[in-house]
A and B are shown apart, each in its own frame.
Chain A
Amino acid sequence: MAQVILKNVTKKFGEVTVVKDVNLQIQDKEFCVLVGPSGCGKTTTLRMIAGLEEITNGEIWIDDILVNDIPPKERDIAMVFQNYALYPHMNVYDNMSFGLKIKKYPKNEIDRRTQEAAGILAIQQLLDRKPKELSGGQKQRVAVGRAIVRKPKVFLFDEPLSNLDAKLRVQMRAELKKLHERLQTTIIYVTHDQVEAMTLGDKIVVMKDGVIQQIGDPLTVYDHPANKFVAGFIGSPPMNFIDVKIIRKNSDIWLDEGKFDVKLPDEMIEQVKEYINKEVILGIRPEHIYDKLYSTLGTPENTLSATVDVVELLGSQKILHLTTGKSNFVCVVDAHNQAEENQDIEVVFNMDKIHLFDKETEMTII
């Protein structure tokens, strides 16, 4: 049970800075997910917390202890690796209990803890198997089990689900969530999969190029992204970005794409004052674009026509790829929607849900 604090943490490999001035406070019992594209520094950050990587600059605190110079084994952490890293020459029981054995725990205590962890993960029947006799999902459980028996202050997960097939991943995701509730421990979890981040995290830390882009709970990050990168990274299918120009018509503000224009809600006018007659990026999530035939929100001020390029049926819904001839965007509609490819349809933008981004800085305007 511990809080983890990173203060101005920087990591350089030679001349390359892979983690830049990271400040992060992870509360006790929090499930914190570091998410970002590959090479964004999330794994390096995790490895620095684990002590596998030295810190170039800054401080890492676990509870009230500065751990910069404390070796991994004394940090009271456990780590689950992407490829499980089970010892191939030991059976499951030995793999799980190895850490305790090294620390010279009494034998009955080792046995009690190992059995308990095996029980939690439902792998009692696998205890005398070697890793090569296990399936991917089973290996994953053993790797988690090895972390559990240690009863550490902090669990570190490095993309633990990325080697599993899609179905198993969903299942393990749910189990990890349950496990967290059961263990009530601080978890720091690294993934490149934004769905995992959204579903698992109490707190999401979005990283890019070694810099934290945004920290927040999943819904905040989703609804109020700090910049265009976060907006595009979180959410599937990703947010649509359309280049528009802000223009004034009488007392109203309109977003003009060239082929269509939509009216900005009055309450947003104040925020875009400085951008009048400038180009900005309009961001709108696919689920906030509706087919006019199925929507009651349509008015001339938020409706435009577009051609259907591709229709993807997912079962419960359809994804329409649309084009205005100038810009392309995607919308998610009901599976029974009748729109066909190459058909011109009218779509409605839910203007209350739009975002605007500065074209140069890519920071959020609205």
Chain B
Amino acid sequence: MKRLTKEESKRIKQRIETAKKVVLYTILTVIAVFMVIPFLWMLSTSLKEPGAVFKYPPEWIPKPIVFKNYVDAWNAVPFGRFFINSIIVAVCVTFGQVFTSSLAAYAFARLQFPGRDKLFLCYLATMMIPGQVTMIPVFILLKKLGWIDTYYALILPGMFTAYGTFMLRQFFLTIPKDLEEAAIIDGLNRWQIYWKIILPLSKPALATLSTFVFLGSWNDFMWPLIVTNSMEMKTLPVGLASFQGLYTTDWTLLMAASMIVLAPVLLVYIFNQRFFTRGIVMTGLKG
């Protein structure tokens, strides 16, 4: 067999590399297209005339393009109010959850108290209880407190999670103890250590958790549906549902409204993307 020169073997290697890349990118592209189709379909539908929605073969680019759907959707329900509700709820839940989680996480990570690890285990175990199980008891509790159809009902139950506590605890454990001891010598008390040393050093973890929580709260449908009655207290996802009637659904308006709802989520994602992906990597490592 003829021996290959260095030049040739290099070229072959390069060709194999290229082929590998072509295959990989083809697969990824196909998957990406599948992922993005529903989104494009939503966009397309939101710009159609009501009659064009079920046309066969489907029209990807609507003729004519109807922007009026967006105006109609906005005016059909008190969208402004939904928006404000959603923002208040999502922001409060996010801050509340990050705050309570980080406090609990710091205690579990650093403070010495009897039964700490057992308590933490119990806390973690609550992650295994499905939300549906606690839904009714929490509802009854809120009803007894007279909080149904108020911001309290929308915000307070979402302010505490085992997941956030767990994630932040794992992150806090990676912060060197020496830093805290240096802080103790510098004269800081526990609260100051948490506030001035631990939190500033945990920005990536806090940003990740905030993103998760914000998206979760923003998209949450079930809980707001259960605890709100009046139009004034509804959040966006619940508001969207009002486009779906018992017998008819106004698809074009629903899709236009969905596009509006989606916009802030996209913004949050684009802003926090680097934290977001790192967060997923982190949960992969530590979880």
Which residues of chain A from 145 to 192 have a CB within 8 Å of any chain B CB? 146
List, in ascending order, chain B residues with CB within 8 A of A85's CB.
176, 178-179, 181-182
Interface flag for B64 (CB, 8 Å):
no
Given contacts A81-B178, A81-B181, A85-B178, contact A99 B197 (CB under 8 A): no
Q: Does A262 contact B (CB under 8 A)?
A: no
Instruction: Say yes or no: B186 contacts A73, CB within 8 Å.
Output: yes
Q: Mark A60-82, 1 if CB is under 8 A from B, else 0.
A: 00000000000111000111011
Q: Which B residues lie within 8 Å of A89 (CB)?
A: 200-201
Is B14 an interface residue when CB atoms closer than 8 A count as contact?
A: no
Which of A51, A77, A81, A103 sits near B182, CB closer than 8 Å? A81
In the complex, B192 has a CB within 8 A of chain A = yes
Chain B residues with Cβ below 8 Å from A226 are none
Chain A, residue nearest B186 (CB)? A99
Considering the complex, give the chain A residue whose CB is closest to the CB of B181: A52
Interface string of B189-202 (1 = CB under 8 A from A): 00010000100110
Q: How many residues of A contact B (CB 8 A)?
A: 22
Contacts of A72 in B (CB 8 A): 184-185
Q: How far apart sit A73 and B178, CA to CA, in the bound complex (Å)?
A: 15
CB A104 to nearest CB in B, in angstroms, measures: 10
A107 to B71, CA, bound (A): 58
Beta-carbon contacts under 8 Å, A302-355 to B? none
Instruction: Given A52-B181, A81-B178, A81-B181, check contact A88 B201 (CB 8 Å).
Output: yes
- Closest B residue to A99 by beta carbon equals B186
Residues of chain B lying within 8 A (CB to CB) of residue A77? 185
Q: What CA separation (Å) do A72 and B184 show in the bound complex? A: 7
Contact partners of A88 in chain B: CB under 8 A = 179, 201
The reply to whether B186 and A98 form a contact with Cβ atoms under 8 Å apart is yes
Smallest Cβ-Cβ distance to A77: which chain B residue:
B185
Closest to B200 in A: A89
A352 to chain B, nearest CB (A): 48
Which residue of chain B is the closest to A143 with respect to CB atoms?
Answer: B182
The verdict on B51 contacting chain A, using a C-beta distance below 8 Å, is no
Q: Does A16 contact B (CB under 8 A)?
A: no
Contacts of B184 on A, CB cut-off 8 Å? 51-52, 71-73
- Asked whether A205 is an interface residue with its Cβ less than 8 Å from the other chain, the reply is no
Give CA–CA (A77, B176) in the complex, Å: 21
Q: Write the chain A residue with the least CB distance to B178.
A: A85
**B188 on interface, CB distance cutoff 8 Å:** yes
B115 interface contact, C-beta 8 A: no
Binary per-residue interface labels of chain A (75-97) against chain B in the complex, 1 for a CB within 8 Å, 0 otherwise: 00111011101111100000000
CB of B58 within 8 A of chain A?
A: no
| Bound Cα distance from A78 to B183, whole angstroms | 11
* CB 8 Å contact bits of B135-172 with A (1 = contact, 0 = none): 00000000000000000000000000000000000000
Residues on the A chain within 8 Å of B179, using CB: 85, 87-88
Give A residues with C-beta under 8 Å from B: 50-52, 71-73, 77-79, 81-83, 85-89, 98-99, 102-103, 146
The 22 listed contacts between A and B (C-beta, < 8 Å) are A50-B185, A51-B184, A52-B184, A52-B185, A72-B184, A73-B185, A73-B188, A78-B185, A79-B181, A79-B185, A81-B178, A82-B178, A83-B178, A86-B182, A87-B179, A87-B197, A88-B179, A88-B201, A98-B186, A99-B187, A102-B192, A103-B187
